[in-house]
Amino acid sequence: MTAPSRRVRATLFLAPFAVFALLGILWSLASPVFSVPDENAHATKAIAQVRGQVIGYTLPDVRHIVVDLPDGYHYTQDTLCYATHPDRSAECAVDFGSETGQSWFNTWVGAYNPVYYYLVGWPSLLFDGNASIYAMRIASSLVGAALLAWAFLAAASGSRARWMPAGIAFAAAPMGMYLIGAVNPNGAELAAAVAVWAGVLGLLETYRVERAADRADHADGAVPAGPATPLLSRTALWAGVTVASIVLVNARALGPLWLVIIVALCFLASGWLPVKRLFTTASSYWWLGAIAVGGLFSLGWTLSGGSLSNQADVSDGPLVNGTFLEGFGYVIRLTPHYLQQAIGYFGWFDTPLPVWTYWLVVAALAVILVLAFIATRRRSVLVLSVAVLAAFLVPALVQGYSVHQTGIIWQGRYALFLYVGVVILAAWLLGRDAPEVAFLAPRAAWVTTSLLGAYGVLAFVLVLVRYVIAKAGLGQMFTAPQWQPPLGWMALTAGYALASLGLVALVGLTTRWILRRESIGAPDDEPRPLAEAPTRG
């Protein structure tokens, strides 16, 4: 590995890590304590778990598993006085850890898989009260940023990666960063899924290149070369995919199913021969074995009572004890609503963004998806259509299967891993199949990320308005704010605007660098010495 190559790899990891971490941390600070859905349940579990109470216990006449909270972490529902009340600012909230709170909490996630809670719960050993929640959120932001940064590196390192940075950028849309910057495994699930999407597609490229080498005429010592040699070795890709897969399968109970769906769609996109090569390479099984161990742990924990195991009461939600078809049809009918939730529905379903703001995201999506549907080969269009169909049907199938036990509990944020994955897949197919529109990649990168950045800043400000002044006149944001986040709302907004500009610059400049790198590589039909072919793994 040459020094310039090491510097390129370091830059392609550290620059996106800084951008993603800053976006996540700013959401961590801007959101009032426990204002993120289910954060009170996840945070109290993490606090108890890192002190040795991995599952907790039950009490008569108390629903859900109970965990103990030490002094400085006492819980009161008054911390959430504003939740579901959009006319109330966060000023009414009582600090977490107040002496008026109780020393236990009945958390509905008390038996969930412990992996995520160890990753984010440790800062609560150093801080208490509200500070502990902000510290755990920052830890969650750093975990998510590391996974997304590796995804960006893997995506930008491929042989035809000109569209991939723009695809990865959709993970930085405000709903994704909002969840990554919270104590909620949904954020880690999204970040890990994005890393798996990017990593598996990049990994399959290495087997495609090797297959081309095998077909070459070894008599004259030449093999066909792709536009650019991948920057990451197969071993590095396997290592990243393995770590991301283990995080994904252990983030939430359905993680193993999500991994299977992502890998299946990547296999479908790549074609049979690279997949066959992967499974006929002996070294693959060391990595597959490690992923299997992580998956078996997740399945074992869930099946032994970790989650998805309790029967809901009829009063808990719609269609408890319903049939598969009832649950399936219900989710299909509400798909537009779930899409709205995934794009921008914050808080405890009390902070929707104005519908007109969504057009910024829709326009950014259209740039990538429309080009992918009109510029790629027929087979790629079919693959992308299957992925889009999966994004609509998987939620309905999963909820239909469990509706008799859980009722309707699906939320749009649960499918973010699929929605973002469709865009990443479209970007990958554009890079592979549409060289005639390659010149558009830099322009599309600047346009899409500018739209995403503008939407992110707008969402950030509107969510702050809801918590700082609620329904009061907008002028009070400046003259009489009722609540202030750490550092103040104006400083956080300025920071978010700068971080969003950083995202735009990161994606735009990286795309331009990739296109330049590909343009100086050997064309597909130009031979190069066999010694320069990618090393077999």
Length of the chain: 537
* pLDDT surpasses 60 at 293: yes
Structure tokens at 504: 């735009």
Q: What single-letter amino acid sits at 520?
A: I
Given a contact cutoff of 8 angstroms between Cβ atoms, the answer to whether 142 and 491 are in contact is no
Gap between the Cα atoms of 357 and 340, Å rounded: 11
Treating both helix axes as pointing N-terminal to C-terminal, what angle do 335-344 and 358-375 enclose, rounded to 10 degrees? 110
Gap between the Cα atoms of 201 and 267, Å rounded: 8
Helix/strand/coil for 484: coil
Residue 224 — pLDDT band, cuts 50, 70, 90? very low
Query: What pLDDT is recorded for position 324?
Result: 95
How high is the mean pLDDT of the chain?
91
Provide the strand spans (E) within 372-530: 527-529
Average pLDDT over residues 283-298: 98
Query: What pLDDT is recorded for position 521?
Result: 52
Query: What pLDDT is recorded for position 5?
Result: 80
Average pLDDT over residues 531-537: 35
- Sequence-distant (6+) residues with CB within 8 A of 39 are 33, 133, 182, 183, 184
The share of the chain scoring above pLDDT 70, in percent, equals 91
* pLDDT surpasses 60 at 16: yes
Given a contact cutoff of 8 angstroms between Cβ atoms, the answer to whether 421 and 193 are in contact is yes
104: part of which helix (H) or strand (E)? strand 104-107
Average pLDDT over residues 321-343: 95
Given a contact cutoff of 8 angstroms between Cβ atoms, the answer to whether 172 and 423 are in contact is no
According to DSSP H, which parts of 50-128 are helical? 115-121
Average pLDDT over residues 275-300: 97
Which among 438, 525, 508, 498 is positioned nearest to 22, based on CA atoms? 498
Residue 215 — pLDDT band, cuts 50, 70, 90? very low
Q: Is the pTM of this model over 0.75?
A: yes
Q: What is the DSSP letter of 302?
A: I
* pLDDT surpasses 70 at 212: no
Query: What pLDDT is recorded for position 308?
Result: 61
Residue 397's CB is within 10 A of a number of other CB atoms, namely: 14
- DSSP letters along 163-204, please? THHHHHHGGGSHHHHHHHTSS-HHHHHHHHHHHHHHHHHHHH
Which among 252, 264, 207, 271 is positioned nearest to 233, based on CA atoms? 207
Gap between the Cα atoms of 479 and 460, Å rounded: 20
pLDDT digits (tens, 9 = 90+) for 373-405: 999 999 999 999 999 999 999 999 999 999 998
pLDDT digits (tens, 9 = 90+) for 192-209: 999 999 999 999 999 986
Average pLDDT over residues 137-152: 99
Q: What Å distances lie between residue 394 and 118, 390, 414, 461, 499, CA to CA? A: 29, 5, 11, 33, 34
Q: What are phi and psi of 224, to 5 degrees?
A: -70, 140
Q: Which residue has the higher pLDDT, 227 or 24?
A: 24
Given a contact cutoff of 8 angstroms between Cβ atoms, the answer to whether 117 and 45 are in contact is yes
Q: What is the DSSP letter of 312?
A: P
Query: What pLDDT is recorded for position 524?
Result: 37
Given a contact cutoff of 8 angstroms between Cβ atoms, the answer to whether 252 and 189 are in contact is yes
Residue 424's Cβ-count burial label (10 Å; 0-12, 13-18, 19+) is buried
pLDDT digits (tens, 9 = 90+) for 478-523: 999 999 999 999 999 999 999 999 999 999 999 999 999 888 653 4
Query: What pLDDT is recorded for position 533?
Result: 35
Query: What pLDDT is recorded for position 160?
Result: 86
Q: What single-letter amino acid sits at 264?
A: A
Q: C-alpha angle with apex 390: 168 to 202, nearest 5 degrees?
A: 35
* pLDDT surpasses 70 at 269: yes
> 74: left (phi > 0), else alpha (psi -120 to 50), else beta?
beta
Given a contact cutoff of 8 angstroms between Cβ atoms, the answer to whether 101 and 75 are in contact is yes
Gap between the Cα atoms of 397 and 387, Å rounded: 15
Q: Which residue has the higher pLDDT, 455 or 314?
A: 455
Gap between the Cα atoms of 60 and 313, Å rounded: 17
Q: What is the DSSP letter of 106?
A: E
Q: Which residue has the higher pLDDT, 63 or 16?
A: 16
Query: What pLDDT is recorded for position 531?
Result: 31
Residue 268's Cβ-count burial label (10 Å; 0-12, 13-18, 19+) is middle
Average pLDDT over residues 261-285: 97
430: part of which helix (H) or strand (E)? helix 416-433
